[in-house]
Structure 1
Amino acid sequence: MASQDAKSKFDVFIEEKYIPLDQKIKLGIVAGIVVALIAGFYFAIFAPNIETIKKLEAEKSSLQKDVEKAEKAAENLEQHKAELEEAKKRFEEISIVLPKTKEIPALLTAISDHGTSAGLDFNSFTPGNETPKDFYAEIPISISITGPYHNIGYFLDQVSKLERIVTVKDITLGGPQQVEGEMLLKSTCNLLTYRSSSEAASDPTKKKKK
């Protein structure tokens, strides 16, 4: 009922204001008013929403890129962690075979202990001066031992299997002696061990003064 009253009032308004106009013109005026209302609705409500949507879409796209970057960074981080762990492991392995200066005396003691355990007598045990190389230093050790042939061979084999790199070279055997029914030989050889050159060179035979 209310809508009919509103329509009647609108018709009366048109009739009173535009009676001289024919029906087509009246329809054109009504259509213009409707278009104006629609345009007003568009600019008042729809257009601002379009701008908001555009901004949200742009923000969404930017956030998506940030998410992708974060995911990629996380993947790279895991890869870097794995590479770091592998590098640490390799460093530890190299540190074992290339001891630091302070570990050389312990290595020399280990070599001497292996000789004693093999039943050998040390006639001499003389570490020499270091020879610097590119990334390491050589430490020569001259030894003279006396014992049974098989014991000497066992000792040299054990020394070559130490965790630290020890190279056996210039082996000589001679001076056989029969002692209590056992043939003893005198052997001389040179051992080469190595240390990391990241530290300053020092004489391995010298102990620190307290």
Structure 2
Amino acid sequence: MNRLQDLMEKLAPLPRAQRLAIYGLVCVLIMALFYTLVWSSGSEELSGLETKITEQTTKRDEVKRRAANRAESERELEELTEALKNALRELPNDREIPELLKRISTAGKKAGLEMRKFQPLPEVAMSYYAEVPVSLEITGSYHEVAVFFDALSKLGRIVSVQDIKLDKPEERAGKVFLNVSGKAVTYRFLTEEEIAKKKADDEARKKKGGKK
């Protein structure tokens, strides 16, 4: 990334129009880096985790239906229940979310970014987990933005960045800055009570929608 900054300095003597055109190309490279480091790995990891949770839950429910006081089935049920819990541990719970959001904010500041906006948004409940989005607006150099994306990919929790937008690069005191907006989305697992409530609410909506 220091080489990138050196390149920006070497471009300084060029006419402004040419510099901005080259900066635009670098923006494309930043987007490709973001997709590789954050979005692609995070979304694939979440998709795999959701599939794993669904499979384990289906198996667990199947064993419950045929348990009928058989010791072997009870043992298998316990094993599958534990496997489901292990899968869910890959997502933070509601008590861990504030700390995780703090780590995301800290990662931006450590990268040297100006955090112009960091606003938690309402959760979106899915089947076994909830999306926890945060609206972001950050300003920084190419290097600082890339460092931030890389830090998100190494947080140890699934964090994806969505709806990313890069405004036209700005020059300040001979340096190039990006204005970036988007959403950082992390995830938490739903408790059994929340899952049951969501299923009940979904069923109620289906019944209501089926009425004429």
Query: TM-score, normalization: structure 1?
Result: 0.50
Q: Counterpart amino acid of 2:157?
A: R
The equivalent residue for 1:123 is: 116
State the distance in 1 between where 2:112 and 2:98 align: 22
Matched, 1:186 2:212: no
1:192 aligns to what SS in structure 2? Answer: strand
Note the alpha carbon deviations across 1:152-204, whole angstroms, 9 max, x for none.
12211221332111111111111422223211111001111111111659xxx
Residues 27-106 of structure 1: pairs in structure 2 closer than 5 A: 84=79, 91-92=85-86, 94-95=88-89, 97-106=90-99
Deviations 1:96-129 (A, max 9, x none): x311111100000000111011110100001100
- Unaligned 5+ residue runs, structure 2? 1-70, 196-212
Matched-pair contact (CA < 8 Å) for 1:160–1:168: no
2:133 partner SS: strand
- Aligned-CA RMSD value: 2.7
Q: Secondary structure at the match of 1:188?
A: strand
Shift of 1:88: 5.1
The structure that has the greater radius of gyration is 1
Q: Where does the alignment leave 5 or more consecutive residues of structure 1 unmatched? A: 1-72, 202-210
Secondary structure, in 3 states, of the residue corresponding to 2:155?
A: coil
Q: Could you say which residue in structure 2 is the equivalent of 1:145?
A: 138
The residue number in structure 2 matching 1:170 is 163
Distance in 1 (CA, whole Å) between partners of 2:158 and 2:101 is 12
Q: Is 1:133 matched up with 2:87? A: no
| Distance across 1 between alignment mates of 2:115 and 2:194 | 30
1:94–1:177 distance in 2 versus 1, CA, 3 Å: same
Higher relative contact order (CA 8 A, sep 6+): 2
The CA distance in 2 between the partners of 1:120 and 1:164, in whole Å, is 21
Match of 2:147 among 151, 154, 158: 154
Could you give the per-residue CA deviations for residues 130-150 of structure 1, whole angstroms, max 9, x where no partner exists?
Answer: 111111111111100000012
Identity %, equivalent residues:
39
C-alpha distance in 2 between matches for 1:127 and 1:163: 20
TM-score by length of 2: 0.50
